[in-house]
Structure 1
Amino acid sequence: MSQDRAIRRLVRRETHSSRAGASVLTSGVLAAVFLWLALESALALLQENPLLASPDRLGRWLAGVPANTLPAGLTAAGAGLAVLGLVLLAAAITPGRRARHAVHSARSAVVVDGEVIASAVSRRARLAAGLAPGQVTTTVGKRAVRVLVRPTSGVSVDRNAVAAAVRDELAAYALDRPIAPTIHIVREGALGQ
């Protein structure tokens, strides 16, 4: 396996989440239901008392559900099962993303957590605007960085200087997927900062 392929594999493993938890939960629930049905069938064959319901009683109950239930209830139950099926299908097909970003490196796999990027961008924007800690907050998404600047009351902030500082900070990381920054300057300033 080439080094580039191994690095790509490591980066993907660190930036995407596993679907093992959902798979284990779903298979565990299904296994419990089937084991319960098998146990009830075995108890019925041995002519013992059922744990919850004997198979013939359960069959009669299922056969009587359409006659004993309102049509709206059946529709709601069917819609609920359809939604559950779609959620499980979406969990199986779509890739899970972690709040991490890969940094381009020719020698190794480098992955940075989104909170680390947010902290560094906040610091750089705060220094460019000449603000105190806590006056700049940043959130990092998959493809966007949102910087919220709360200036000191009565002091204006140069949006262009903050935007340039944020762009420079993000460019320094050489992320494999570029993320676009947006700068929001709050109208209400902070007091006494």
Structure 2
Amino acid sequence: MNGVPKKEQAVYRRVVRRETHAPRTGAAVVLAAVLVLVLLVALGLSVWWLVDPAARGGLADRMTPLTSRADDSASLVAVGVLALVVGIALVLAAVLPGRLRRRARRTDRLALVVDDGVLADAVVAAVAVRCGIDPRQVSATVGRRRTTVRVTPTSGVPVDHEAATGTVAAVLGRVGFPTPQRLLVADRGVVS
């Protein structure tokens, strides 16, 4: 990327990031709304507690059954830990970026973003042609770390494992997204 201006490199980087990461605006809005609601309720109860002396006694009477059950410190600790875990999970879901099932590659002149489903379809087509079987007998899943191909052979016709795995490696290597692959061949074939 030596010949490309820094401004274009920054644009490529930004576009690739936007296309490969899921937005977390929904989770952030839900978290903010829950926090605002909790703070408003706490503020309202505090003001009510300070302004109305009768509310103090009524609120204390209503809380007595709950506080009598809460004398067990183990249950309080369990509720506290559960609330902490839920809170941390909500904050992390709102703040951390989500990953989409896409892969990206940049060169000097372009940025390429490919959906994992498209790569899986290319693998299925190539393996079906190479093994001489119907594409409906092949399925592929392209994951973050591995490509898994499942083949259901035609009954009585063996599948060449090396040829199939070589085909998967060649297809993914040609498009520039090589991953380790695993080939699973069904024990029973289908009748042709």
- The TM-score with structure 2 as length reference comes to 0.80
Aligned to 1:20: 25
Q: Would you say the 8 A contact 2:12–2:106 is kept in 1?
A: no
Q: Give the superposed CA RMSD.
A: 2.9
Q: Say if 1:125 and 1:162, in contact at 8 Å, map to a contact too.
A: yes
Q: Indicate the residue corresponding to 1:51 in structure 2.
A: none
Aligned to 2:69: 68
Correspondence for 1:156: 158
2:133 touches 2:153 (CA, 8 Å); kept in 1? yes
In percent, how many aligned pairs have the same letter?
35
Matched residue pairs, number? Answer: 185
- 1:85 CA drift (Å): 3.1
Cα deviation for residue 73 of structure 1 reads 2.6
Q: Secondary structure at the match of 1:138?
A: strand
Equivalent residue for 2:85? 83
Q: Deviations over 1:22-60 (max 9, x none)?
A: 21111111112222344455667786xxxxxx6775577
Question: What residue in structure 1 maps to residue 11 of structure 2?
Answer: 6
- Give the Cα–Cα distance (whole angstroms) in 2 for the partners of residues 103 and 15 of structure 1: 11
Could you tell me which of 117, 125, 134 is aligned with 2:127? 125
* Secondary structure of the structure 2 residue equivalent to 1:74: helix
Secondary structure of the structure 2 residue equivalent to 1:121: helix
CA shift for structure 1 position 77: 0.8
- Structure 2: how far apart are the matches of 1:73 and 1:60? 21
CA change 1:169–1:55 in 2 (3 A) is farther
Show the counterpart of 2:35: 30
Higher helix share: 2
Change (3 A) 1:41 1:71: closer
- Alpha-carbon spacing, 1:104–1:166, altered in 2? closer, same or farther (3 Å): farther
In 2, Cα distance between equivalents of 1:42 and 1:89: 28
Which region of structure 1 is more displaced relative to structure 2, 86-95 or 144-153? 86-95
Cα deviation, residue 183, structure 1: 1.2
